[in-house]
Structure 1
Amino acid sequence: MTACLRLLSALCLAMLLAACASSPSSNLGELPRTPDATIEQLLGQAASAKTPAEASVLRLSAADLAYRQHANDRAGQILAQVQVEQLNAGQQIIASTLAAELALARNQPKEALNALNHPSLQRLGEASVEQQVRTHTVRARALEADGQILPAAQERVFIAPLLSGDAAAANSDAIWALVSSLPAEQLNTTGTDDLAGWQSLALAVKSAGTLDQQKAAINDWRNSHASHPAAKQLPAALTKLMELTSQPLTKVALLLPQQGQLASVGKALRDGFMAAYYQAQQAGQKPPVVEVFDSSRVTSMDDFYRQAQAAGAQMVIGPLEKPLVKQLAGRPQLPLTTLALNYSDTTTANPPQLFQFGLAAEDEAREVSRRARADGLHRAVALVPRGEWGDRVLAAFRQDFEANGGSLLGSQRVDQPVALAQQIGDLMQARQGANGSGGSRRQDVDFIFLASTPQLAQQIKPTLNFQYAGDVPVYATSNVYSASGDTSQYNDMNGVRFCETPWLLDNANPLRQQVVRQWPQAGGSLGRLYAMGADAFGLAPRLEQLKALPDNRMQGLSGNLSVNAGQRIERQLPWAQFNGGQVQRLPDTVQ
């Protein structure tokens, strides 16, 4: 989602500026028209200018030209030489906008928003349409990057009447990308303005389950919001959704182990799946008929598919066993659309009928990367278990974090608790400098990425305190949370932040309450599997629409779910923090 939103923002800005290039000038004060001047020529004129005001205007023109030529470092150096107090109000607006654009290029949204607090911005409404669009767009991008999604959407709603053609369509798509990324509970539909209309459209789409229900919800919304801009021209994503065709799903084959080591896992997945089935039935829906097959008895997947097809199944949910999933992933085609409940761990292309869904620790490592960056943290060290699992988690975190501008400064693989103090000391101790100093705690670490058991996590926070690093934030995967109900074990983990399934963080969810009453173990760590089973039921009729619309998400009980290019279900998770032995839910961020 991050990359899509940023790309959309960049494209939108380019279209907006192009659309407004012929807009009338304002009397507030602009830059001199020097279309053929180079940066060096402008700087030369500034050096020989007769007044500080003239020199400042020319340097601002040079900085703006450097930015338009994508020479951001040069633009920043020139802008730093501009005496902003020598500029008139219109030129100060340009300088503040440029400072914000350069801050965003450095991935510093808060600095960008500070730049847009200049007093001159109070007169933005007197500026040219081109400048108003440029300034409001960069503010929208900064708010988005800072996790302030609704204010970002409001900025784009504000400039919508100033746009037409492709620029208006790009802005509309950007508004939809923002509001549709919000959880349903954060959408406020009570107002009568355009932003409330956008939010009610997002809620209508999120609240509908199947493709046909979503189409009906969009049509109902358009009928009741006929004057809204989105009713006149749907965002591109919804236009594409309306063009999709669906075939009713009437029967599925649920393929899970009923014997052997994975029987208890299979039972939790099956019970979660069927609980969601009965909930849909009680709500008046017509869920597909479910026939359960025992994967532990399957000797040939070809024979199983023939049996499932003979029984009238249109889709297979399962298998769970990794060898069977790997076998399916290696085939060029499958007889039926299949949602495997595990990952194949192969990098080759899957058959087009195969989707893969699981509680992958790699998803959570990427979630830690996303959340830390959203919180403004960009330099990390990592503590992961020794072994293949720890290697996979660390690799996923490193890849996502560094690809998005973060720096992994060091890592330790934890094996024996007795070595923990030394390992944390090695990570957190400052390297001895040229002046001979050393032994103090390093100051370049923004946070610690932690993947460990609850027992080990209980020792890590006190050890950090011992190493004078107790103030360094700790971001962890869900492994640190046992969900056992024994709050005493969390007393030594104060301040540790961790991602977790909505199932274990939202005790008020009706389906969760119903399942836990029947199977109390679903209230503990096994609840993650019940949640996954319930989500498999919800995903079944929506796989093709999620595949066609990668920005679309299903708000599930195991996470906020989407389908990536490899047809794997990716989870975005909510966050919590240990506080005084209790688990405290943290506000969501979107990026």
Structure 2
Amino acid sequence: MIACLRLFSALCLAALLAACASSPSSSLGELPRTPDASIEQLLEQAANSKTPDKAALLRLSAADLAYRQGNAGQAAQILQQVPMEQLKPGQQVFASTLAAELAMTRNQPKAALTALSHPSLQRLSELPEGQQIRTGTVHARALEADGQALAAARERIFIAPLLKDDAASKNHEAIWALIASLPSDQLQAVSNDDLGGWMSLALAVKTAGTLEQQQAAIDNWRAQNPKHPAAIQLPLPLTKLKELASQPLSKIALLLPQDGPLAAVSKALRDGFMAAHYQAQQAGQKPPSIEFYDSSRLTSLDDFYRKAQADGVQLVVGPLEKPLVKQLAARPQLPITTLALNYSEGEQGPAQLFQFGLAAEDEAREVSRRARADGLHRAAVLVPRGEWGDRVLKAFRQDWESNGGSVVGIERVDQPVALAQQIADLFQLRQSEARAKSLQNAAGTQVAAQPSRRQDIEFIFLASTPQQAQQIKPTLNFQYAGDVPVYATSHVFSASGDQNQYNDMNGVRFCETPWLLDANDPLRRQVAAQWPQAGGSLGRLYAMGADAYRLAPRLGQLKALPDSRIEGLSGSLTMSPSQRVQRQLPWAEFVSGQITRLPDTQR
């Protein structure tokens, strides 16, 4: 009886080992499979194994099983017990891949890339296709999460021939999303392979202006590259573009208030909008006709939409008033696609509603982006006291901290007389003065000691009016913090041309609309010649109006191609998942009473 049990146990052990190992290879080693045994059984067999290589293989199989069952913590613990040096190259590839997958569950792409840098990965192409797919997939995910879109696309192109059915389609769409996310200056193809084809397709789409031009560019590319994977199966966003191009926009309703407190803002928006319309006519295009509606006399949104539909309107631009935008955002759907010129408080509105405005929150996020691009990590914040300052601070802080930055101090500016004390508190100057006084008392004699500020503040995020900024920068200089970089929103810039005002803000960097930083733009020159105020701070509204016109026929395009952008006069425009137009801005600096444009950084 005992002999029979021993024979039965031996047979079970042999079956377990056979279940978790593929055909042996003299050089690469056996690869684990998904076993019939449980994690506990595999670990028990590993503990009782007489050879270290079999024990390592069993533990590797147990770690993989734990990962597949969704227990990443247990998988990592087991994997730590597997000595890499006892594994053959194929098994090392398997272990490195699993380590990378576990790192990605912790949102640690750099750790995943480190795991995939093991020398054994040089022999990946010798392994079964399933392993190549698994390793290539996690490698692509890690590269994308690490911001290396081109390298991630190259990895996905490598595994594409190995995939079938749904996996192949998903990988195909992922390749396009990665390539489409690259800026145009990175799309200069240097080869005629699949990657070069993808890049030339993306460049053709990005450099074409209208939907019709984009469709012609796609058709031309397909004719030149008939055997390319993207020509055989056009990516879904480009298929959507084809549908959009077949539905040209012929009539727009411009819904703005002609009377009331927003009448002056409305006039600047309308003049900018119509200036862009006339520019399109002069360029030989066939722009849509414009129908004007007065939102200040509006009694019912339902009545307005009924009249607009009867008038043949295909797109509404407006309203400007925030209460009306909030009403639209609360509706389940709209009868006509609408580009509101303000933002609701909620995130998501009906599918037919798009929102566009000069949001201070966009500029706060732009400061965060620029400071990161400049290699900074620790910020102090100066914002006005009140609801506006709180919104700007919240937007900056969310973006800054979610990308690894830290906020080490905050002061809310209110009364000018308190400014010096607030900045002294921010930089902990009073503590420094107290230490000097204490030292003086201990020494019993006069001690020469200059107050020293805290050293952990790498830059200041400033959101303020020009008048406040005129006081803040000299106060920083006086409080031994004049060398701390200041990054500001456009609100510090009055565009008045007052050199004395600019001198008081010397060294302050700020984001601003292309309209106000590029006096030679043809449309700006034309508009400013007719309305001189467009060259001052009101120019931001003229720029927004012009961009609203340029956005109108391309809303579907931005929605279908989330990584595409329009280089507008109010900023570089993209579409968020909640269908809000977001702006990225160029940068300038006050230098000796002048405005100096700063070089752009990587987006």
For structure 2, which runs of at least 5 residues remain unmatched after alignment? 1-20, 432-451
Q: Using the alignment, how far apart are the partners of 1:415 and 1:393 within structure 2?
A: 15
Q: Residues 185-224 of structure 1 correspond to what in structure 2 (within 5 A)?
A: 185-189=185-189, 191-224=191-224
Q: Using the alignment, how far apart are the partners of 1:398 and 1:66 within structure 2?
A: 38
Structure 1 residue 534 corresponds to structure 2 residue 534: no
Q: 1:166 matched to which residue of 2?
A: 166
Q: What amino acid is aligned across from residue 360 of structure 2 in structure 1?
A: A
Structure 1 residue 122 corresponds to structure 2 residue 122: yes
What CA RMSD, in Å, does the superposition of the two structures yield over aligned residues?
4.7
For structure 1, which runs of at least 5 residues remain unmatched after alignment? 1-21, 433-438
The answer to whether the 8 A contact 2:477-2:483 is kept is yes
CA shift for structure 1 position 29: 3.3
Greater length-normalized contact order (CA 8 Å, ≥ 6 residues apart) = 1
Q: 1:180-237 CA distances to partner (integer Å, 9 max, x unpaired)?
A: 2233343224642222322222233334455444434322322222111000011222
Q: 1:573 matched to which residue of 2?
A: 584
Moved more, 200-209 or 26-35: 26-35
Q: Residues 8-407 of structure 1 correspond to what in structure 2 (within 5 A)?
A: 28-33=28-33, 35-44=35-44, 56-189=56-189, 191-244=191-244, 246-257=246-257, 261-292=261-292, 313-326=313-326, 336-345=336-345, 349=349, 354-366=353-365, 383-397=382-396
TM-score (norm 1): 0.75
Instruction: Report which of the two structures shows the higher radius of gyration computed on alpha carbons.
Output: 2
The aligned length equals: 555
CA shift for structure 1 position 126: 2.6
Moved more, 234-243 or 461-470: 461-470
Q: Residues 538-577 of structure 1 correspond to what in structure 2 (within 5 A)?
A: 538-547=550-559, 553-564=565-576, 568-574=579-585, 576=587
- For residue 272 of structure 2, give the secondary structure of its aligned residue in structure 1: helix
> 1:97 and 1:575, CA in 2 relative to 1: closer, same or farther beyond 3 A?
farther
Q: 2:439 matched to which residue of 1?
A: none
> 1:31 and 1:189, CA in 2 relative to 1: closer, same or farther beyond 3 A?
closer
Moved more, 573-582 or 352-361: 573-582
Q: Using the alignment, how far apart are the partners of 1:188 and 1:108 within structure 2?
A: 31
Q: Residues 423-442 of structure 1 correspond to what in structure 2 (within 5 A)?
A: none
Q: Using the alignment, how far apart are the partners of 1:551 and 1:119 within structure 2?
A: 35
Q: Residues 511-530 of structure 1 correspond to what in structure 2 (within 5 A)?
A: 511=523, 522=534, 525-530=537-542
The answer to whether the 8 A contact 1:258-1:266 is kept is yes
Q: 1:533-564 CA distances to partner (integer Å, 9 max, x unpaired)?
A: 22211222233454566566544343444555
CA shift for structure 1 position 482: 5.4
Q: Using the alignment, how far apart are the partners of 1:24 and 1:557 within structure 2?
A: 63
The answer to whether the 8 A contact 2:22-2:32 is kept is no
The answer to whether the 8 A contact 2:453-2:480 is kept is no
> 1:492 and 1:122, CA in 2 relative to 1: closer, same or farther beyond 3 A?
same
Q: Residues 356-505 of structure 1 correspond to what in structure 2 (within 5 A)?
A: 356-366=355-365, 383-397=382-396, 411-416=410-415, 419=418, 450-453=462-465, 459=472, 463=476, 477-480=489-492, 488=503, 491-493=506-508, 500-503=512-515
Q: What amino acid is aligned across from residue 598 of structure 2 in structure 1?
A: Q
- For residue 206 of structure 1, give the secondary structure of its aligned residue in structure 2: helix
Q: 1:8 matched to which residue of 2?
A: none
Q: 2:599 matched to which residue of 1?
A: 585
Q: Using the alignment, how far apart are the partners of 1:394 and 1:244 within structure 2?
A: 39
CA shift for structure 1 position 167: 1.7
> 1:278 and 1:183, CA in 2 relative to 1: closer, same or farther beyond 3 A?
farther
Q: What amino acid is aligned across from residue 357 of structure 1 in structure 2?
A: F
Q: What amino acid is aligned across from residue 570 of structure 2 in structure 1?
A: S
The answer to whether the 8 A contact 1:550-1:564 is kept is yes
> 1:102 and 1:366, CA in 2 relative to 1: closer, same or farther beyond 3 A?
farther
Moved more, 393-402 or 64-73: 393-402
- For residue 602 of structure 2, give the secondary structure of its aligned residue in structure 1: coil
Q: Using the alignment, how far apart are the partners of 1:80 and 1:571 within structure 2?
A: 45
Q: 1:3 matched to which residue of 2?
A: none
Identity %: 67
The answer to whether the 8 A contact 2:367-2:396 is kept is yes
Q: 1:13 matched to which residue of 2?
A: none
Q: Using the alignment, how far apart are the partners of 2:548 and 2:377 within structure 1?
A: 34
